[in-house]
Amino acid sequence: MKDKIMISRLANKKILLGLTGGIACYKVADLCRSLRKLGAEVQVVMTQSATQFITPVTMQALSGNPVYTDQWDTRFANNMPHIDLTRDVDAILIAPCSTNFMYKLAHGACDDLLSTLCIARPNHVPLMIAPAMNVEMWTNPATQRNLAQIKQDGLHIFGPAAGEQACGEVGMGRMLEPSDILAELEAAFQKKTLAGKQVLITAGPTFEPIDPVRGITNLSSGKMGYAIAQAAWEAGANVTLVSGPSALTTPYGVSRISVQTAQQMHDAVMAQLNFRRKDIFIAVAAVADWRIANTSDQKIKKTADSPTPQLVFTENPDILANVAARKDPPYCVGFAAESENLLEYAAAKRIKKNVPLLVGNIGHQTFGQDENELVLFDANGHQALPRADKLSLARLLVDEIGARV
């Protein structure tokens, strides 16, 4: 069976990918390949320094288009590649962007094809850079002055990251990994409906111990909550994700707090609300309603004459209801995972929890799956979102939340 391909915001986008001199050029080969897999058309332009690290032949094979390096390229009838290459692109991405090229962008230098086309680009075409350099070069005051200038000029800065560098030193200046650059690039095409908002999200299952090796949990994978966290970050929010046990990778740009039990999740949520005001709280996690009151300190052994263990249950705190009942609550969005009668039960749950928006789905049809189907419940009734992959649904939901807040 073929994997289902998720529709990307980069599909059918034309990206001009510029390479400048740096060992991080080797990462850009994978970036170029990934862009094409997501449906983007890639046009590569390289500086002469970049060709010392990776060949134009390699980038042509990966992009499927001729690679340009010379501002006097005779393949253009009008001899104006700096004009022709920029007039129909959706974005220009410079990766890696060297210290020297940052200087050129800050000062409007036009001494090669890539720098000239950056200055000649139409105003509506976004220019994005992924810096890559030694830590001392990055922290140098001159570089920081150039960085401040290009930020003021409206360029998008992706990274850099901290870590081990090719020279053997450790610190800030590593180019972001290709997957992180793709996340930044996708987010750049998203409307910032939650710009500056503080968003707190719970996701995944909880695990309630019976003894040191056993416990009670559920089939939630966390995929929906993690997708909502990613979509909220893409929409410009500062996102904190409180997650139960999950093997999922934390979405790029999202801060994650890992917990196990419902009580731990409750305490983490309340601590976050007390630490800094949140504008939006989205309770996606499948939280256990009860926990074991008489947990055993040792593994419960089964023997021929041992009695059947008698488990005593006690109710867990209701995280969503407690947040909604605060004196100055954030905008609360709840989730209801039902097995039947979704319209009836979810509508009643929204009223019981006293939240303005509740999202309902059929739990056993979505847990662990890559797709979902959601129904939104508010004071005006309910609205169904069509079945789709969870990230696409998350983006639709975030748009709905953004319109409400």
| More confident call, 364 vs 318 | 318
If one counts every other C-beta atom within 10 angstroms of the C-beta of residue 60, the result is 13
Please, are residues 4 and 387 in contact by the beta-carbon 8 Å criterion?
Answer: no
Grade residue 307 by pLDDT with cuts at 50, 70 and 90. Answer: confident
Average pLDDT, the chain: 90
The predicted model scores a pTM of: 0.86
Burial pattern 246-284, b for ≥16 Cβ within 10 A else e, equals: bebeebbbbebbebbbbbbbbebbeebbeeeebebbbbb
Rounded mean pLDDT, 263-277: 95
Angle of helix 25-37 relative to helix 178-188, nearest 10 degrees, comes to 50
pLDDT on residue 26: 95
pLDDT of 340 reads: 67
3-state helix/strand/coil string of 126-144 = CEEEEECCCHHHHHCHHHH
pLDDT at res. 362: 60
With cut-offs at 50, 70 and 90, classify the pLDDT of residue 364. low
Q: What is the mean pLDDT of residues 271-292?
A: 94
For 88-164, where are the E strands, in sequence order?
91-97, 127-131, 156-157, 161-164
Cα separation, 318 vs 285, in Å, equals 12
**How high is the pLDDT of residue 1?**
29
Q: How far apart are CA 122 and CA 115, in angstroms?
A: 14
C-alpha–C-alpha distance, residues 326 and 334, integer Å:
15
pLDDT band at 308 (very low <50, low <70, confident <90, very high): confident
pLDDT at 113: 95
Q: What is the pLDDT of residue 118?
A: 96
Residue 334 β-bridge partners: 283, 358
Convert the pLDDT of each residue in 135-168 to its tens digit. 999 999 999 999 999 999 999 999 999 888 888 8
How confident is the model over 322-326, as a mean pLDDT? 94
pLDDT band at 82, cuts 50/70/90?
Answer: confident
Split at pLDDT 50, 70, 90, the class of 188 is: very high
With H, G, I as helix, E, B as strand and everything else as coil, classify residue 212: coil
Domain 198-404 in the same topology as domain 14-188: yes
State mean pLDDT over 387-398.
Answer: 90
Percent of all residues in the chain with a pLDDT value above 90, rounded to a whole number:
70
Q: What is the pLDDT of residue 51?
A: 96
Q: Which residues are catalytic?
A: 167
Q: What per-residue confidence (pLDDT) applies to 4?
A: 40
CATH topology of domain 14-188: Rossmann fold (3.40.50)
Mean local confidence (pLDDT), 252-277 = 95
What class is the 198-404 domain?
alpha beta
- Domain range summary for the chain, segments of one domain joined by +: 14-188, 198-404
